[in-house]
Amino acid sequence: METIRGRTSLDLDLTDFYARLANYNRIILDLGTGDGKFAFCHAESFPGHFVIGVDSCRENLHEVSRAKLPNLLYIIASAQNLPHELSGLISHITINFPWGSLLQSLLAGDPQLLCGLDSILSPNASLDVRLNGGALAEAGWSLEDGVEQIRERLSYAGWQIGKPVMMDSRTLKNFPSTWAKRLAFGRDPRAIELRCTS
Ligand SMILES: C[S@@+](CC[C@H](N)C(=O)[O-])C[C@H]1O[C@@H](n2cnc3c(N)ncnc32)[C@H](O)[C@@H]1O
């Protein structure tokens, strides 16, 4: 599995990966992590959690992935083809403000994404999905309809989903991810959070 620190890629084998995880019983995965800031902030705030940021794009990760936290790892992978090394390990997944093929797969209920997520979960895992108006508009959906579509797809895949929670510009400003800050000061500072349990 390809990991990244700064501009350097490293192939991490199963033995080394398990050694890194050895002292942690809660493993968090931030899918579509972008520049990795949310994963970094979580790892810093919760030293007892091991945090994995995953994105298909290397370039944005060059800066934040240099951080030397023992409980933080960045993996280059597509959300639709997650590394098999993650199987059965993940306690909690976050998908913050997805766009592109990650958002399309959520909207379509793509089995390559949903079965892949299913395969990496540990028992009683949870999932938080935060969806923003601009990305859904680009994909041809209103915020409310897009969220409802994704809610239905996740529900069909077996997730129990709580009441959608609105995120306004103030909430976005205080949310620890780079994209949330951009949204907060942008043209459409609206997002909706779906909290799901397995
Ligand atoms: C709008 S950015 C949000 C980044 C970050 N979550 C944040 O809050 O700052 C969406 C991210 O999703 C990633 N992405 C889109 N499709 C993906 C896929 N199929 N697999 C993995 N990452 C994907 C993009 O590369 C991009 O970094």
pLDDT exceeds 90 at position 25: no
pLDDT digits (tens, 9 = 90+) for 100-141: 999 999 999 999 999 999 999 999 999 999 999 999 999 999
Single-letter amino acid, residue 116: G
Per the CB < 8 A criterion, the answer to whether 98 and 66 are in contact is no
Domain count for the chain, please give it: 1
pLDDT tops 90 at residue 92: yes
Mean predicted lDDT score pLDDT of the chain = 97
pLDDT for the residue numbered 187: 92
Cα–Cα dist 145/155, whole Å: 15
Which CATH number is 133's domain given?
A: 3.40.50.150
Asked if 165 contacts 105 with a C-beta cutoff of 8 angstroms, the reply is no
Q: Where are the alpha helices (DSSP H) in 57-127?
A: 100-108, 111-120
Q: In what helix (H) or strand (E) does residue 179 lie, and over which residues does it extend? A: helix 178-184
104 lines ligand 1 (CB under 6 A): no
Establish whether residue 17 lines the binding site of ligand 1, counting it when its CB lies within 6 angstroms of any ligand atom. no
Q: Are 76 and 55 in contact (CB under 8 A)?
A: yes
Pairwise CA distance, residues 1 & 83, whole Å = 6
What domain range includes position 145?
2-197
Q: What is the pLDDT of residue 30?
A: 98
113 Cβ inside 6 Å of ligand 1: no
